[in-house]
Amino acid sequence: MTQQTRRNFLETTVVLSGAAMFGTKTTLLADEPKRERKNKGVIFKSNKGGGIGKNLEGMIKTLEKYKALGFDGIEGASPGIPDLDAMNTAIEKVGFPVHGVVDMVHWKDRLSSPDEATRDKGREALVQAVKDSKKIGGTTVLLVPGRVTGPDETHEHVWKRSITEIRKVIPVAKEHEIKILIENVWNGFCETPEEYRDYIDEIDSEWVGAYFDIGNVRKFGKPEEWIRMLGSRIGKLDVKDWGKKNGFCRLGEGDVDWPAVREALAEIKYTGWATREGGDKSLEDTAQLMDELLDL
């Protein structure tokens, strides 16, 4: 099967896959009336998978477990997946996609580092992540562009240094048709939606966008306002909840206004992956909560 044929097959599998569930249905937001699941087939449910298994047998079992719980896909890591060929075999056998990878060295080998050698290592890791994502039929690499640490790594440094390094990788991203998506995290960088928007716009490439984390941003503002500001720049979503009293928590138990988030996503006509980062009571619980909160 060719790469394009396999991708078409997997995309079809995502749209047609069932949402089998086990156990008792979560009664989250019990006072809210039953809603039409408008985002079924529009937003696709995923979870962070990291290495996803040490060998072919483990990879197959992992993908089968997520598929049985109604997930549409999973996200991997680079480095992290020990055998990309085995991963491809598992994807084909189960009919279940790995939609992209997280760059796992971006915190250590930061593109914003004051040390040129460190920036070089970070850029090389990003290039490899792009190639790894392509290898397994993914579409993106999640990237944290740097961290504000002090006078040698200020907000301006993170902005300028990371943009310089990312632009060097854009030709590779274009060649492999893999988008580099910048995640908003607690790194002291782009803590307003205007800054986040302007950072993406300054890079000025169709191969770079936003990997918007719903929960991370709640510390600084309302996710729905950031969603409207970022609009079509958002390539994928990370799904978390956060509250002033309980920090990162079970979905639906923090300060995120999920009806407002759904409304904002509908306004920008978002379609794509929503990936849970973090844990709930169980994977089953996560699957049910995502269905409830995102109208899946």
pLDDT at 33: 58
Domain count, the chain: 1
Among residues 38, 29, 3, the alpha carbon closest in space to that of 288 is found at: 29
Condensed to tens digits (0 to 9), the pLDDT of residues 275-288 reads 999 999 999 999 99
- Residue 186 pLDDT more than 50? yes
Give the CA-trace dihedral at 87, 90, 96, 102, to 10 degrees. Answer: -20
Average the pLDDT over 53-64 and give the result.
Answer: 97
**Alpha carbons 231 and 197: distance in angstroms, whole number:** 9
- Residue 258 pLDDT more than 60? yes
Condensed to tens digits (0 to 9), the pLDDT of residues 113-169 reads 999 999 999 999 999 999 999 999 999 999 999 999 999 999 999 999 999 999 999
Question: pTM value?
Answer: 0.89
pLDDT at 16: 41
Q: How far is CA 220 from its chain centroid?
A: 20
Average the pLDDT over 169-185 and give the result.
Answer: 98
pLDDT at 9: 43
Average the pLDDT over 235-255 and give the result.
Answer: 98
- DSSP code at position 250: S
- Residue 20 pLDDT more than 90? no
- Residue 215 pLDDT more than 70? yes
**Percent of the chain that is helix, strand, coil (3-state, to 5):** 45, 20, 40
pLDDT at 22: 34
- Residue 34 pLDDT more than 80? no
| Domain that includes residue 102, residue range | 3-294
Return the CATH number at 92.
Answer: 3.20.20.150
pLDDT category of residue 32 using cuts at 50, 70 and 90: low
- Residue 1 pLDDT more than 70? no
Average the pLDDT over 58-85 and give the result.
Answer: 97
Q: How far is CA 49 from CA 59, 63, 91, 177, 200, in A?
A: 10, 9, 13, 22, 26
Q: Tokens at residue 238, please?
A: 């990370």
Q: What is the mean pLDDT of the chain?
A: 91
